[in-house]
């Protein structure tokens, strides 16, 4: 099969859908001839024109509100938020309107919109352009939250997100844009709420999201040399969360390490850990659950500091060993 980068897979998923469905359009800052801050929409305005590749003023709240309004009245907008950090400005529309309208209206109306947004550190963009704020939106009932880790996953999950009748926050990790994997040419959908076991193992379960999936895989390869067998579960979507797969894995291994890039304090890892503690897997836990997340500080600029602010492969290795009393 041909290989595609994560970035190309995002673009391809959108393009395939837009060719089929006139209701789908894209709104965002600098997504027109510029091609978007990361080049995801490059070439799209040429194909779909400025009406459907709608370049907006720098008005995150306005764009988000317009997306909600158009979604409520029959369109299926995709909104590109240039950096996921900027969600703070659009959050009222996403949290107070998009997430709640259907419930507030007693089941009337729907808001089929996708907020696509690059997140994560590692580019040296420092504190206001490097955050991972997925736990905020995962907290809000009415939103769905997706964090793909591979090119294959991103294409299938974006298709599912576009098909979904609910607002979906779709996190694309900046450092993953250039990674590639085999991606089928045709359209396909990966259901939201279905975790993927990225590696099977028996001693410890690592639940890792986004870029941490790759770091966990690296750690697992190292640990294998020492005879430690690690299972890696990539939830792929935080909301809905595939609790069953995680519970099954932890029941099997008896040990859990949760890894995400977002700040550990109040991060989604706490949700996964608590979910396990409340589940039937609790009785199979044979070591305290270990969480790895970003430090409680803004992302620093200096590359060494930046690296140290989020979990790295040796941290994961150590965490696994600690869980195994090794």
Partner 1 sequence: MEQTKSLKLVPEISDEKLKDLYKQMWLIRYFDEQVDQFFAKGMIHGTTHLAVGQEATAVGACALLSDEDKITSTHRGHGHSIAKGGRVDKMMAELFGRTTGYCKGKGGSMHIADLDKGNLGAMGIVGGGIPLAVGSALTAHMKKLEYVTVCFFGDGASNEGSFHEAVNMASIWDLPVVFFCENNQYGMSGNVKEMTNIENIAERAAAYGIPGVVIDGNNIIEVINATYEATERARRGEGPTLIEAKTYRWKGHSKSDAKKYRTREEEKDWRENRDPIKKFKEELIEAGIVTEEEAEKIKQEAKQDLDDAVQFAQDSPMPTLDDLLTDVYA
Partner 2 sequence: MLKEVFMPKLSSTMEVGTLLEWFKAEGDTVDVGEPIFEIMTDKINIEVESYEEGILLKKYYEVDDEIPVNAVVAYIGDKNDVAPETPTAIEAEDETAATADAPEAEIAENAINEESLDTNEKVRATPAARRVARENNTTFNGVQGSGPKGRIHEQDILDAINNKSNKLVTPLAAKIAADQGIDIAEVHGTGSRGKVVKQDILNNQQPQTEVTEEVERIKLKGLRKAVADKMLQNAQSIPHVTLTTDVDMTRAIELRKALLPVIESQTSYRVSYTEIIMKATASTLKQHPRVNASLIGNEIIINKSINLGLAVAVEDGLIVPSVANVDKLGLADLTTVSKELGAKARHNKLTPDEMKGSTFTISNLGMYAIDGFTPIINAPETAILGVGRIVEKAVVVDGSVVVRPIMVLSLSFDHRAIDGAPAAAFLTELKECLENPWALLV
Work out what residue 68 binds among partner 1, partner 2, none; the CB cut-off runs from 5 to 8 Å by kind: partner 1
21 binds partner 1 (CB under 8 A): no
112's torsion region: left (phi>0), alpha (psi -120 to 50) or beta? beta
Which 264-293 positions form the footprint of partner 1 (CB under 8 A)? none
166 binds partner 1 (CB under 8 A): yes
Closest contact distance (angstroms) between CB of 122 and partner 2 is 33
Work out what residue 67 binds among partner 2, partner 1, none; the CB cut-off runs from 5 to 8 Å by kind: partner 1
For 7, 33, 170, the CA distances from 11, given in Å and listed in that order, are 6, 15, 13
Decide: 157 and 151 in contact? Cβ < 8 Å: no
Closest contact distance (angstroms) between CB of 200 and partner 2 is 20
69 binds partner 1 (CB under 8 A): yes
237 binds partner 1 (CB under 8 A): no
Work out what residue 297 binds among partner 2, partner 1, none; the CB cut-off runs from 5 to 8 Å by kind: none
Q: What is the rounded CA–CA span in Å between residue 35 and residue 85?
A: 20
Contact positions vs partner 2 (CB under 8 A): 254, 282-288, 325
Residue listed under structure tokens 């299938």: 156
227 binds partner 1 (CB under 8 A): no
302 binds partner 1 (CB under 8 A): no
139 included as an active-site residue: no
Whose Cβ is closer to partner 1: residue 116's or residue 173's? 116
64 binds partner 1 (CB under 8 A): yes
Work out what residue 278 binds among partner 2, partner 1, none; the CB cut-off runs from 5 to 8 Å by kind: none
| Neighbour-count burial for 82-112, b at 16+ CB within 10 Å, e otherwise | bbbbbbebbbebbbebbbbbbeeeeeeebbb
3 state DSSP class of 119: strand
Closest C-alpha among 305, 236, 241 to residue 270: 241
User: Around Cβ 283, how many Cβ atoms within 10 Å?
Assistant: 8
Residue listed under structure tokens 């801050």: 37
Residues that bind partner 1 in the complex, under the rule CB under 8 A: 25, 51-52, 56-57, 59, 61-75, 77, 92-93, 96-97, 101-112, 141-142, 144, 165-166
Known catalytic residues?
129
């Amino acid at each position: 099969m041909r290989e595609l980068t994560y970035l190309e897979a995002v673009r391809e998923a959108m393009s395939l859908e837009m060719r089929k469905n006139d209701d789908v359009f894209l709104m965002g800052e600098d997504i027109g001839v510029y091609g978007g801050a990361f080049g995801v929409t490059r070439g799209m305005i040429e194909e779909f024109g400025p009406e459907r590749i709608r370049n907006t003023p720098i008005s995150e709240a306005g764009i988000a509100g317009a997306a909600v309004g158009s979604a409520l009245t029959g369109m299926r907008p995709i909104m590109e938020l240039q950096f996921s950090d900027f969600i703070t400005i659009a959050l009222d529309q996403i949290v107070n309107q998009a997430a709640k309208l259907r419930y507030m209206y007693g089941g009337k109306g729907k808001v089929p919109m996708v907020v696509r947004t690059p997140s994560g550190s590692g580019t040296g963009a420092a504190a206001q352009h490097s955050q991972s704020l997925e736990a905020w939106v995962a907290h809000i009932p009415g939103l769905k939250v997706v964090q793909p880790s591979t090119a294959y996953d991103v294409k299938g999950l974006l298709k599912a997100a576009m098909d979904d009748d609910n607002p979906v926050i779709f996190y694309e990790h900046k450092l993953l844009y250039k990674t590639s994997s085999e991606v089928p040419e045709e359209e396909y959908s990966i259901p939201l709420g279905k975790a993927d076991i990225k590696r099977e193992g028996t001693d410890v379960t690592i639940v890792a999201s986004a870029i941490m999936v790759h770091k966990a895989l690296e750690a697992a390869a190292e640990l294998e040399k020492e005879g430690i067998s690690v299972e890696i579960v990539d939830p792929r979507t935080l909301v809905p969360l595939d609790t069953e797969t995680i519970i099954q894995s932890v029941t099997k291994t008896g040990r859990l390490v949760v890894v995400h890039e977002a700040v550990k304090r109040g991060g989604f890892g706490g949700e996964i850990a608590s979910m396990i503690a409340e589940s039937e897997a609790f009785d199979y836990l044979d070591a305290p659950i270990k969480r790895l997340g970003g430090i409680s500080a803004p992302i620093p600029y200096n590359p060494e500091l930046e690296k140290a602010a989020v979990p790295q492969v040796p941290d994961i290795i150590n965490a696994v060993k600690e869980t195994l009393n090794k």
